[in-house]
Chain A
């Protein structure tokens, strides 16, 4: 697989990053270089190997399901770029 203009724009859509026309060439060069580098792993046999997602051998603890008063509405909204009453404001999403 090689990143061409079309696949790069699709990837940008998936990642929600707009990619301007003048950056496409350099970006595809960089990403192809990275992909070529990681592709060397294909030569290693891993049929009998289980994947490791996390190096810690520890059971995840479950916390008590208790209500606390952390994260007030005020705190949560404090850094909002745009807010109104107790809400984040976003561009209209209903047609």
Chain B
């Protein structure tokens, strides 16, 4: 059994006065201190967290609680703007940036009384799948392989968010997912990672990477916690014109693991000889389990799956090159002096951005440039339509789709491929979901022969988060995955 807290369990302890917010916040701050080697946090809000926790305890005393989850300490990916607290996107170019406004999502967490422990490390501008592109250095995965003492990547880009939940450096955390950045690190760390439908959660105040793909979501220990956290952060926001006006549901209250009569699709295009045997085994076992629990398993086809990744690596860099044009050394962030204005721009951006971010800006600039716009950018957007219609067709036949979350389990930090394209393949199973704007969740299913977590991904139609969480909860309830990493950093 997990002896560490979840949002659900901690809410009960706080309610029954078994523990105060100040006590539990101090406990986590101690965990953060003793877990410094994991490099999860870019900023630790020690003082502010303790003051906020005291205020929460006062609210509890005066029966003036903001929500059931008032006083619970969480971690926030360093991509959400937080008023008065440094927000760096793990980039040198924003390393001195202190916003004077609060993102809608973190505002909502505050309105629920949640306590921010600090800002979590991530890949620079959320571009990466190993957390190695961070200006502040790699996050280390709390998990280690049975046969080796070498440090493993936590995945990315929300690597700090996933590692912090897995290593008990916060109860739950916020991440963002543009091509897999919540689900892939969740898969690598044995945690639950939920990417909501595009538009379900406000993007206002989140450092933009690719605006038509970015979506914020929770990383938690359990599916129940994912439902609780989504209740807190979702909903329409007039500050984000792409946030959906669809009314939000009470995901946690309506969580119902009954899947009798549901149809679950297994897409043949996700099958591969290169998939590790243990991942294939988990995938098969999970399908069997769903069948035993009353669902019907159907083979389906998503014919354009293999085109998703190349289309993504046109669309995401194109949007990124446009979004990141704002970092010019004039209004905020780093400025490197130059001989004239243009020289200042070029030097600021050259020194302020890391290699992967520069690669993507350059590719994005190229595919948007005169003469190549139609051949690359419009072409990729057409492919996006084909991918989307694959899913539209599939959801006429099935309620949910089951796939692996990642093509491998966590690998060694030292073994990251030097070819960027090889790295991009980490997101091969997660990227199509962003292009189609669908909700997806990664849940831990089993550990492989090296004792590393294997994540499986569930996908449903747009705004069917309830169904997604219900199926995920059914699996969680049946397998009760309870593996935890050995805390090697405490030795």
Check: B252 CB closer than 8 A to any chain A CB.
no
Query: 19 A-B pairs, CB-CB below 8 angstroms?
Result: A17-B358, A34-B313, A35-B366, A38-B314, A38-B380, A41-B383, A44-B304, A44-B307, A46-B383, A49-B385, A52-B385, A54-B437, A55-B435, A60-B241, A61-B245, A79-B331, A81-B329, A82-B335, A93-B341
**Pair A63/B436 contact, Cβ less than 8 Å:** no
Question: Which residues in chain A, 3-23, are within 8 Å of chain B measured between CB atoms?
Answer: 8, 11-20
Question: Does the CB pair B341–A15 fall under 8 Å?
Answer: no
A50 close to chain B: CB less than 8 A? yes
Question: 10 closest A-B pairs (Cβ-Cβ)?
Answer: A55-B437, A51-B381, A79-B332, A81-B335, A46-B382, A18-B346, A15-B365, A49-B382, A18-B350, A38-B310
* Cross-chain contact B198 with A55 (CB below 8 angstroms): yes
Which residues of B have CB within 8 Å of A40? 307, 310
The majority secondary structure among interface residues of chain A is loop
* CB pair B420 A33 closer than 8 Å: yes
Q: How large is the interface on A (under 10, 10 to 19, 20 to 34, 35 or more residues)?
A: 35 or more
Q: A18-B346, A18-B347 are in contact. Are A91 and B436 (CB under 8 A)?
A: no
> CB-CB < 8 A to B45: which residues of A?
none
A51 touches B421 (CB 8 A): no
Of all chain B residues, which has the CB nearest A43? B307
Interface residues in B368-389 by Cβ distance below 8 A to A read 369, 372, 375-376, 378-386, 388
> B204-246 toward A: CB 8 Å interface, digit per residue (1/0)?
0000000010000000000000000000000000100110110
Q: How far is the CA of A79 from the CA of B419 in the complex (A)?
A: 36
Q: Which residues of B contact A19 (CB under 8 A)?
A: 350
Assembled-state Cα–Cα distance A75/B309 (Å)? 40
In residues 456-488 of chain B, which contact A (Cβ within 8 Å)?
462
The contact string, 1 if C-beta is below 8 Å from chain B, for chain A 58-91, is 1011010000000000011011111000001011
**Distance between Cα atoms of A20 and B346 in the complex (Å):** 11
Nearest B residue to A38, CB-CB: B310
- For the complex, count residues of B whose C-beta is within 8 A of A: 75
Closest CB in chain A relative to B176 CB, distance in Å: 16
Contact B340 A92 (CB under 8 A): yes
Chain A residue numbers with a CB within 8 Å of B330 are: 80-81, 88, 90
A51 to B435, CA, bound (A): 12
Q: Which of B241, B309, B419 sits near A61, CB closer than 8 Å? A: B241
Our pick among A18, A41, A56 for the contact of B437 (Cβ within 8 Å) is A56
Complex: A16 Cα to B338 Cα, angstroms? 13
* Chain A contacts for B100, CB-based, 8 A: 75, 78-79
Chain B residues within CB distance 8 Å of chain A = 96-101, 198-199, 212, 238, 241-242, 244-245, 304, 307, 309-311, 313-314, 321, 325, 328-335, 338-347, 349-350, 353, 358-359, 361-363, 365-367, 369, 372, 375-376, 378-386, 388, 419-421, 424, 435-438, 462
Please report A residues at the B interface, Cβ cutoff 8 Å.
1, 8, 11-20, 27, 30-31, 33-42, 44, 46, 49-56, 58, 60-61, 63, 75-76, 78-82, 88, 90-93
CB distance from A64 to the nearest CB of B (A): 10
Residues of B within 8 A of A93 (CB): 340-341
Q: Is A55's CB under 8 angstroms from B388's CB? A: yes
In the bound complex, do residue B388 and residue A17 qualify as a contact, i.e. CB atoms below 8 Å apart?
Answer: no
A80 touches B331 (CB 8 A): yes
A residues near B340, Cβ cutoff 8 Å:
91-93
> Do A34 and B421 touch across chains, with their CB atoms under 8 A apart?
yes
Q: Cβ of A52 and Cβ of B350 under 8 Å apart?
A: no
Q: Is the CB of B332 within 8 A of A90?
A: no
Assembled-state Cα–Cα distance A36/B424 (Å): 13
Contacts of A39 in B (CB 8 A): 310
CB–CB B97/A79 < 8 A: yes
**Interchain nearest-CB distance for A63 vs B (Å):** 7
Residues on A with beta carbons closer than 8 Å to the beta carbon of B381? 51-53
From the candidates A18, A36, A53, A92, name the one contacting B212 in the complex (CB within 8 A): A53
Q: Which residues of A contact B339 (CB under 8 A)?
A: 91
Q: Known interface pairs A17-B349, A17-B358. Does A34 touch B363 (Cβ–Cβ under 8 Å)?
A: yes
Asked whether A79 lies within 8 Å of B333 as measured between CB atoms, the reply is yes
Q: Is the CB of A79 within 8 A of B342?
A: no
B384 touches A52 (CB 8 A): yes
